[in-house]
Each structure stands twice: as structure tokens, then as C-alpha cells.
Structure 1
Amino acid sequence: MNLPSMTHVESSNLESVGYDGTNLFVRFKNGSIYVYLHVPESLYQELLAADSKGKFLSKHVKGAFQYKRIA
């Protein structure tokens, strides 16, 4: 799976995020990369706008979407 263009985010836990039109990619500060499958683009936009990216990810993405660790 190819990584889309990644956008750096201000977060204590997340390094950058990307979206390929279907899937949300998250690079964590520890270097791991996860892809969350079939995430609506509106949720990706809300993540980018959230004051706390990590809290938003935990509340609205983790546990709600299938995921795979890809790195």
C-alpha cells in the first residue's frame, strides 16, 4: 500500500497524517504507521481541524474503523 502525501500535524503523539480518498494514514512519533480503512473524508478534515489530534483519533477513529500497521 502506497503512502499518500502526508501532512505534518502539531501533536504530542502524531507526526503526520494523510488521506488517499478512502483510507486514513497516521504516522506516529515513534515511527509506526497505521492505515485506517474506509474513513470518510469529512472525518479526515475534522481530524486536521481538531485542537487535539490524538484525542480526536482515539475518540472517533480507533475502535470505529478496521486498521493495519504498515510500518
Structure 2
Amino acid sequence: MAKVFNYISDAFTELKSNVTWSPWSEVQRYTIIVAIFAILFSLATWGVDTVFGRALGVFYNWARA
């Protein structure tokens, strides 16, 4: 159990002293950019899925007739 505690303690020390953190304004800006691209990508994926679903529906209805 002491090894786990030492590992966690060393990890926190590493994060406090050796990691260079970005300014908060930059983090907010990049978070907004990532959120916008995630929304756009999900909408594009939904659109392609809808188009292919309808195209396959038309094809199967045509093939069944």
C-alpha cells in the first residue's frame, strides 16, 4: 500500500513542479473549438447516415418490387 501512496504522491509532485500548464484563456478557447468541431462532425455523420439509410431503403424497395 505504501508503493501506491508514494506513486500518487510523486505523480502530484510531478504535476505541480514539472508540467507547464497553458493559460486558462487558451484552454477555454481550445475547448470551444473542439466542442464546435465535435458538433459539426456529429452532424455530418448523422447526415451521411441518413442519406445512406434512405438510399438503401429506396434500393431495397426497388429490388423487392
**TMscore range, shorter length:** under 0.3
Larger Rg: 2
Structure with greater proportional strand content: 1
Q: Which has the higher contact order (CA 8 A, sep 6+)?
A: 1
Give me the TM-score of the superposition, normalised by structure 2: 0.22
Which protein has the bigger helix share?
A: 2
